Amino acid sequence: MRSIFKIALRNMTRYKRRTILTSLLIVLGVTMVVLFSGLAGSVKTMMIGIITDSNLGHLQIHKRGYVSSIDNLPLNLNLEDKAYGKLAGVLDGNPDIESYAPRIKFGAILSNYAESTNVRVTAVDPVRETMVCPGLSARLVDIPPGYSGPLLEPGEVIIPQKVAKGIGIKPGDDVVLVATNSDGSVNGMRFTVSRLIEDIMGPGGKDAYMHIDDARSLLRTDKGEVTEVVLRMGGATDLDTVKKRLGASLGEFKNKKEMPIFEVHTWADLSPFSNIANMIELLIITVKIVMIAIVLISVLNVMLMSVFERVREIGTIAAMGTSPSKILALFVAEGFCLGLLGTALGLFLGVAGLLVIKASHVTFSFGRMDNLLLRPQIDMAELAIIAAMVLAASALAALQPAWKASRMEPVDALGHV
Amino acid sequence: MALIELSGISKSYQVGQTSHPALRDVTIDINEGRLATFIGPSGSGKTTLLNLIGCMDKPSSGEIRIAGTRTDTLNRRQAAAFRGESLGFIFQSFNLIPVLTIYENVEYPLLMINPTPAPERKERVIRVLEAVGMLEHKDKRPDQASGGQKQRVAVARALVTNPKVVLADEPTANLDQQTAHKIISLMREMRDAFGTTFIFSTHDPRIVEHADEIHTLEDGRLQDNEAPLQKGAVHA
């Protein structure tokens, strides 16, 4: 086998033009895939990071049945004080969970005394919320770079930028929020607009924010009642795995109907962006398929040409006693080596391209977020998969021409003009 | 026992509905260490006969034994193994691999067909290149060598695996008269040096004087002359 690879490599270096042309096509395909995977994958990861870090968290736990009614923001599906206590007991001892934060969500009427509009409100514990969603502050409008102060204080409210613009509210203004609680009674409280916040994709992406204690006063609820608990993962454990583990741990808590009290969802279960993320994955797979097609066609073409050009050589080596299996192995090895050369160069150029893009500090916009810094990256496993795919495609493409060569009768091949 | 035994060999080619006989009932024995030639005009069956002895084709009838092995019943893989082990080939058009140097062309069978350790491989390649007088040209490519030089390299390549028999189909057809004589003389020298049996075909009666035995083919039938021809005698 060593001799076969030695001869295959030597043939590659001697048939220079053929080697260069084929390798160029493979290099182009591999470079394209590495660049695309690195860029698209990074954009996807960044977007997921923005969505999870500034709004959804990694996992959310609700009272069973809440998510199917999430658009109505039902207050009668909040977790009661006792249930939240049980949940906190499980979460506090869980090594997978870095932090968690309770939220109350409800609908309200926002008034600036002249106009009013409906808003969705997320009430948070500012300290815990910042630990779970460290990127939330970054959505605040006109916030100084590196701001590390409190998200908001009691008596303050953060208003979505579009809502504020619609009814002419600016930071510092007084507003009134009117809400109906789960008993049907209406209450209103005055707040000061502390800041405006940019919208983001997904549930809660256009919510106003207020302090959780204020929400309890406004809604006149029990002290420990919450709508949802948002979780931030600590390690690199797969979200779905943690979701399963948590589901199992929380499954022991049943309601009077012997049904589980809690339901656990990942960010992807809740956000429509997961579909976009899946589409990006699909695009990456499509590009990989195109690349494999390029490799297959180029190697197949060049190896077919090679067999055709080297009929007399094949006849000669067959006449001298080279076994059909060795002739087959020789041509497959040549195809494989072409793939190897193209892959090595393509991976090098692709990774180099990603590094150049990274060093160039390219920025882009996502929705209303501008100047997002592109940080392309690709992991070794992804590179290994690309390399394995190209090498397999190269060997596969060389198989048919190699088979053709190995089946040639020496007498016929020697007589070829 | 003869090294090569052909017994009642016939070979026909089917073209459409018609059968064209290329060899008819050829029986011949060739002993070890001989320089034998088959002569005859084009279409007389020389190449067909060499292909059959070279295990590259199968007879329609008859038996072939080489060094005691029945070769007409070997399958593709067995025939390839037998060729690699026992036979060497010299071709009319030299058939050197153009992208390899002369050294690499001669080395090729020891890499691909009879894998040989590197030091021994080098020693054997140098020995045969020296024997055919091509050692000083070992780093040239075939296109940098003359016709005679190419055929010397082909002789070296055929001998490097120490075959029992070297088959040469019209080895001088692409060479001028003087070079042709030199190549046949070289084959004779190599026969003496390595003890290899050489069988070559030609339609040129002027070069057969070097052969130990001459067999004439006409219309696929073997004539009965065995002794070298006298200078000036013409077949065809």
Closest residue, chain A, to B141 (C-alpha):
A14
Does A120 score more than 60 pLDDT?
yes
**Percent of chain A predicted with pLDDT > 90:** 25
Radius of gyration of chain A from Cα atoms? 31
Closest residue, chain B, to A412 (C-alpha):
B56
Shortest Cα–Cα distance, B231 to chain A (Å): 33
* Nearest alpha carbon to residue A131 among A239, A232, A205: A232
Kindly report the length of chain A. Answer: 417
Largest CA distance in chain B: 55
Of A3, A15, A321, the CB nearest to B81: A321
Amino acid A416: pLDDT = 62
Amino acid A132: pLDDT = 92
Measured distance between the N- and C-terminal CA atoms of chain A, rounded to whole angstroms: 31
Contact A212, A89 (CB under 8 A): no
Amino acid A369: pLDDT = 63
Of A14, A312, A324, the CB nearest to B80: A324
Q: What is the Cα A120 distance to its own chain's centre?
A: 27
pLDDT digits (tens, 9 = 90+) for A80-104: 888 899 889 888 888 888 999 999 9
pLDDT digits (tens, 9 = 90+) for A373-416: 788 888 888 899 988 988 888 888 888 888 888 888 888 887 76
Cβ-based contacts under 8 A for chains A and B: 74
Phi, psi of A229 (to 5 degrees): -120, 125
Of B80, B91, B100, the CB nearest to A321: B80
* Nearest alpha carbon to residue A172 among A154, A158, A151, A188: A158
User: What ranges make up the beta strands (E) of B16-85?
Assistant: 18-30, 35-39, 61-66, 69-70
Does B94 score more than 50 pLDDT?
yes
Amino acid A179: pLDDT = 92
**Percent of chain B predicted with pLDDT > 90:** 24
Shortest Cα–Cα distance, A245 to chain B (Å): 58
Amino acid B230: pLDDT = 47
pLDDT band at A194 (very low <50, low <70, confident <90, very high): very high
Does A298 score more than 60 pLDDT?
yes
Within 8 A by CB and 6+ apart from B236, the residues are B39, B40, B41, B203, B205
Please write down the HEC assignment for all residues of A53-108.
HHHHCCEEEEECCCHHHHHHCCHHHCECHHHHHHHHHHHHCCCCEEEEEEEEEEEE
* Residue A268 buriedness (CB in 10 A; 0-12 / 13-18 / 19+): buried
CA distance A301 to A299: 5
Contact A211, A205 (CB under 8 A): no
pLDDT band at A75 (very low <50, low <70, confident <90, very high): confident
Amino acid B205: pLDDT = 75
Amino acid B133: pLDDT = 84
**Across A338-346, average pLDDT:** 90
Residue of B112, B164, B170 best to disrupt the A interface, most CBs of A under 10 A: B112
pLDDT band at B236 (very low <50, low <70, confident <90, very high): very low
Inter-chain CB proximity A7 and B111 less than 8 Å: yes
Inter-chain CB proximity B115 and A3 less than 8 Å: yes
Amino acid B139: pLDDT = 92
Does B234 score more than 60 pLDDT?
no
Helix then strand count (H, E) for chain A reads: 13, 11
Contact A395, A339 (CB under 8 A): yes
Inter-chain CB proximity A14 and B113 less than 8 Å: no
Inter-chain CB proximity B56 and A409 less than 8 Å: yes
A408: helix, strand or coil:
coil
Q: What six digits make up the tokens of A375?
A: 């940080």
pLDDT digits (tens, 9 = 90+) for A195-251: 999 887 666 778 899 999 999 999 988 778 899 999 998 866 688 888 888 888 888
**CB contact, 8 Å: A9 with chain B?**
no
Contact B46, B203 (CB under 8 A): yes
pLDDT digits (tens, 9 = 90+) for B22-66: 899 899 989 888 889 998 888 888 889 999 999 988 999 999 999
Does A43 score more than 60 pLDDT?
yes
Q: Pick B226 or A111 by higher pLDDT.
A: A111
**Across A1-15, average pLDDT:** 83
Measured distance between the N- and C-terminal CA atoms of chain B, rounded to whole angstroms: 31
A277: helix, strand or coil:
helix
Shortest Cα–Cα distance, B187 to chain A (Å): 18
A336: helix, strand or coil:
helix
Does B224 score more than 70 pLDDT?
no
Shortest Cα–Cα distance, A7 to chain B (Å): 8
pLDDT band at B233 (very low <50, low <70, confident <90, very high): very low
- Say what angle helices A311-319 and A273-309 make with each other, to 10 degrees: 70
Does A123 score more than 90 pLDDT?
yes
B102: helix, strand or coil:
helix
**Across B12-16, average pLDDT:** 86
Does B166 score more than 70 pLDDT?
yes
Inter-chain CB proximity B112 and A3 less than 8 Å: yes
Inter-chain CB proximity A319 and B77 less than 8 Å: no
Contact B129, B152 (CB under 8 A): no
**Across A36-44, average pLDDT:** 84
* Residue A379 buriedness (CB in 10 A; 0-12 / 13-18 / 19+): exposed
Contact A115, A167 (CB under 8 A): yes
Q: Pick B70 or B179 by higher pLDDT.
A: B70
